[in-house]
Chain A
């Protein structure tokens, strides 16, 4: 990273959406310049959290739906695991029988 810092006005211009990949790369690595940019653009008075919260709010019924759906999915997976276990049982039994017969064959 070049240790020459950009001029303040170039940092502010970048913050104002003037695309400059060199400034971008510098700001991403330089705490000092990132601080200048953040200081120049304070958005504390914007109710961003409130608007986002309203936009992304889930329907009230979703909690119960998710609990129910997660339980069903969990139980389906558990059943599949049991079936999978049953499917390999004959093979494992056969292997066990072969293993037991081996010493006699030798």
Chain B
């Protein structure tokens, strides 16, 4: 752990949440959902790695100011969402390039692999057509299992906007997946 705790600001507990986690604990507990939301926003693995790291570091430094009115996970996801949106603004206009992701498809059968790749390409195209924050909404709901209220809090949009965007996005993505089920 390399004495991270010693360099923390004076407050050694996060209000009502027990001892403040050190940086390593925080990264290990929250990196995966943070990365998934960020990569959905920026569509680039390398950029998502950097933003995930930056967001977790920001969150850790800001822990003494965390009031506990949202879950720690949601608070971190909000920081990551904001950091990614700022990075996208700097990178504007949004690239129309294909997604830059690590190779993650695998399977013993070559024909299954090709079919998966085709399906994924079709799915990525549909996902790219959504706005960045709509992609984040979809991931927060479908992968991270956040409630509508939590999502609205994380992406700072009205609840009804979250619900309508999610509905339209699900529909678009369902069309892309049609025939692959």
A contact set with B: CB distance below 8 Å = 15-17, 24, 27-29, 31, 34, 37-38, 41, 43, 45-49, 51-59, 62-63, 65-67, 69-71, 73-75, 77-78
With A43-B171, A54-B105, A70-B57: A28-B161 Cβ-Cβ less than 8 Å: yes
Q: Which of B12-20, B63-71, B84-92, B135-143 contacts A (4 or more CB under 8 A)?
A: B135-143
Residues of B within 8 A of A24 (CB): 164
B142 touches A55 (CB 8 A): no
Residues of B within 8 A of A70 (CB): 23-24, 27, 53, 56-57, 60
Find residues 126-161 in chain B having any chain A CB closer than 8 Å to their own CB: 127, 138-139, 142-143, 158, 160-161
Find residues 32-69 in chain B having any chain A CB closer than 8 Å to their own CB: 32, 35-36, 39-40, 49, 52-54, 56-57, 60
CB-CB nearest 8 A-B residue pairs = A49-B142, A56-B36, A28-B160, A43-B170, A48-B142, A58-B35, A57-B104, A46-B174
| Chain B residues within 8 Å of chain A by Cβ, number | 48
B24 touches A71 (CB 8 A): yes
Q: A38-B163, A51-B120 are in contact. List 20 more A-B contacts (CB 8 A).
A: A27-B164, A34-B164, A43-B170, A46-B174, A47-B177, A49-B142, A51-B119, A54-B104, A54-B120, A55-B120, A62-B31, A63-B27, A63-B28, A66-B49, A66-B56, A69-B53, A70-B53, A71-B4, A75-B2, A78-B7
CB distance from A62 to the nearest CB of B (A): 7
B171 touches A15 (CB 8 A): yes
Main secondary structure, interface of B, reads: helix
CB distance from B73 to the nearest CB of A (A): 16
B4 touches A74 (CB 8 A): yes
**8 intermolecular pairs with C-beta atoms under 8 Å apart:** A47-B177, A49-B143, A52-B142, A56-B143, A58-B31, A66-B27, A71-B4, A73-B57
Q: Which of A31, A41, A43, A46: most chain B CB closer than 10 A?
A: A46
